[in-house]
Amino acid sequence: MAQQGSCTVVVGCQWGDEGKGKIVDVLAEDVDIVARYQGGANAGHTVHVGEDEFILHQIPSGILHEGKRCLLGNGVVLDITRFFEEYDVLVSRGVDVEGRIGVSRRAQLLLPYHRLLDQATEESADVKIGTTGRGIGPAYEDKTGRRGVRVVDLANTERLQRAVEQAKARVCMRIGELGARVSDDLDRAMEEALGLGGRLLALATDTGPEISQALREGRRVLLEGAQGTALDLDHGTYPFVTSSNTTAAGAATGTGIGPTAIDAVVGVVKAYTTRVGEGPLPTAFEPEMDERVRVLGGEYGATTGRPRRCGWFDSVITRHAAQVNGLTGLAVTKLDVLDTLDELKVATAYRMPDGSLTERFPADTWSLTAVEPVYENLPGWEASTAEVLRLEDLPANARAYLDRIEELTGTAVQWVSVGTRRSQIIPVG
């Protein structure tokens, strides 16, 4: 039977923190299912509902809309302890989650030893990645090393115990080799995590068949990416990336549907650029401007509280994102943060260390530390946009800025956000 419903992917087009949570929250209004397809508790999606602020790490932002089904796909590395912390906070704040959350039986479990190994690896590394310390890399290493423990394994106590003991022994040995210490807390943390196994199993589902059936029955589905294109394991600034495929194709493998089921891909871009963690940021501001925009935009990590580095809008990276994700539309966020600037710059190309010009995102990450962005200057609008409700009411220079982003990325702007409230996300057209 042909697909009657619709399936949209929402992806980040920079280094994460583009405001995907906010866009998903608004789009979720019109869908039936929202599913996460990769990453884990490294993500931090901030959503404002009225006066309330919610920071979601693993549970999809759709949870803040009554009655929507929220899934964690097989591509996720599920931190069981933190998952239930988040779950219980939602319940205590009055969100009705009963029967609304499902986790893939095929999802990998992220256990306390992964966090320890992540932190020990970072501390001893020559080239630091600046990870969130949430155990993401080690959990995906266990997955691709074919020794991970999955949600389905929670149903078989004997097999689970064996697998976990072996994994723990391996990790502890590795931590010793790295010259770090295994914290005394590990056994207690493991007990706590595995003690939640029964609760997690009660939420287990097969996300692929569940989503496919919903689509056949005419329902609408949103697949929510975490992090961003430049943090994609294959297409980002390797090795300064996360350990999963953040890009749109990852939405198919990470939930268990076919790529032909996807109808639209919305790319979320900030009106400027930010990055948290190590690795190059070609359009980085000079220190004074960096501080100014960080304060204006509240650019501190939602998961780790680290200050984000800030820079001009970079169309080289967003063109790359448009290509690799097959974007059908853009959502430009935080336009209001630029309200007080008298002049704006947009990078259109990079001058490479050998003097050549490129409009294409270079594979050699190390060359990115030495490229010189080629900038185009655009006049600022120097007016508040926070109360604007319609595109045509934006200042002319703000509209010109959006038009230029559209041209440079070859992708139509479909939403613009000028603040954190739901009403501050302006639909275009």
Residues forming the site for ligand IMP (CB under 6 A): 15-17, 42-44, 129-132, 134, 136-137, 226-227, 231, 240, 242-243, 276-277
Q: Name the residue nearer to ligand IMP (CB basis): 233 or 341.
A: 233
226 touches which of Mg ion, ligand IMP, none (CB within 5 to 8 A by kind)? ligand IMP
C-beta closer to Mg ion: residue 200 or 302: 302
Q: Which of residues 302-321 bind Mg ion (CB under 5 A)?
A: 302
- Return all residues near 25 (Cβ < 8 A) that are at least 6 apart: 47, 49, 61, 62, 64, 65, 422
Annotated active-site residue 320? The verdict is no
Measured from each CB, the residue nearest to ligand IMP is: 277
Told to judge if 48 belongs to the known catalytic residues of this protein, a careful annotator would answer no
Among 25, 32, 45, 65, the active-site one is 45
| Of residues 218, 341, 357, the one with CA closest to residue 288 | 341
Q: CB nearer to Mg ion: give 15 or 313.
A: 15
User: Binding segment for Mg ion among 299-307, 323-331, 332-340, 382-390 (CB under 5 A)?
Assistant: 299-307
Instruction: Report in angstroms how near the CB of residue 56 gets to Mg ion at its nearest.
Output: 10
CA angle 120, 125, 130 (to 5 degrees): 80
Closest CA to 325 of 2, 5, 3, 18: 18
Q: What is the 3-state secondary structure (H, E, C) of 191-233?
A: HHHHHCHHHHHCCEECHHHHHHHHHHCCCEEEEECCCCHHHCC
Residue 137 interacts with, from Mg ion, ligand IMP, none (CB under 5-8 Å by kind): ligand IMP
Report which of 60, 14, 351, 90 is spatially closest to residue 211, judged by C-alpha positions.
60
Q: Which of 17, 25, 32, 142 is catalytic?
A: 17
- Nearer of residues 44 and 112 to ligand IMP, judged by Cβ: 44
**Choice from 19, 44, 60, 208 touching Mg ion (CB under 5 A):** 44
Q: Which ranges in 217-369 belong to alpha helices (H)? A: 249-253, 287-297, 315-325, 365-368
Residue 33 bridge partners (DSSP): 69, 221
Q: Measured from the CB atom, is 119 or 328 closer to ligand IMP?
A: 119
- Minimum CB distance to ligand IMP, residue 79 (Å): 11
List, in order, residues 6 or more apart from 235 with CB less than 8 Å away.
Answer: 229, 247, 320, 324
Helix (H, G, I), strand (E, B) or coil at 201: helix
Residue 408 to residue 63: CA distance in whole angstroms: 34
Q: Helix 112-124 vs helix 186-195: angle between axes, to the nearest 10 degrees?
A: 140
CB of 82 to ligand IMP, least distance (A): 13
Q: Which does 78 bind (CB under 5 to 8 A by kind): Mg ion, ligand IMP, none?
A: none
User: How far is C-alpha 391 from the chain's CA centre?
Assistant: 27
Least Å distance, CB 113 to Mg ion, is 25
Residue 134 or 168: the one with the smaller Cβ distance to ligand IMP is 134
Q: What is the largest CA-CA distance in the chain?
A: 66
Q: Least distance to ligand IMP from the beta carbon of 386, Å?
A: 24
Which residue is it, tokens 């209004």?
29
**Angle between helical axes of 136-144 and 112-124 (0-180°, round to 10):** 110
Question: Residue 227 binds which entry of ligand IMP, Mg ion, none, with Cβ cut-offs from 5 to 8 Å by kind?
Answer: ligand IMP
| For ligand IMP, the closer CB: 243 or 315 | 243
CB 207, min distance to ligand IMP, A: 21
Q: What CA–CA distances, in Å, run from 36 to 62, 223, 381?
A: 10, 6, 37
Amino acid at 176: G
For residue 322, the partner it binds in Mg ion, ligand IMP, none, with Cβ less than 5 to 8 A by kind, is none
Nearest of 119, 64, 118, 57 to residue 96 by alpha carbon = 64
Contact between 62 and Mg ion (CB under 5 A)?
no
Q: Say if residue 239 is preceded by a cis peptide, omega within 30 of 0.
A: yes
Query: Residue 17, interface with Mg ion (CB under 5 A)?
Result: yes
Q: How many CA atoms lie within 13 A of 104 on its CB side?
A: 28
State the minimum distance, in angstroms, from the CB of residue 231 to ligand IMP. Answer: 5
Please list, in sequence order, all residues whose beta carbon lies within 8 angstroms of the beta carbon of residue 165, skipping any fewer than 6 positions away.
none
User: Which of 300/375 has CB closer to ligand IMP?
Assistant: 300
Q: How far is the CB of 388 from ligand IMP (least distance, A)?
A: 27
Instruction: Show which residues are catalytic.
Output: 17, 45
- The binding site for Mg ion (CB under 5 A) comprises 17, 44, 302
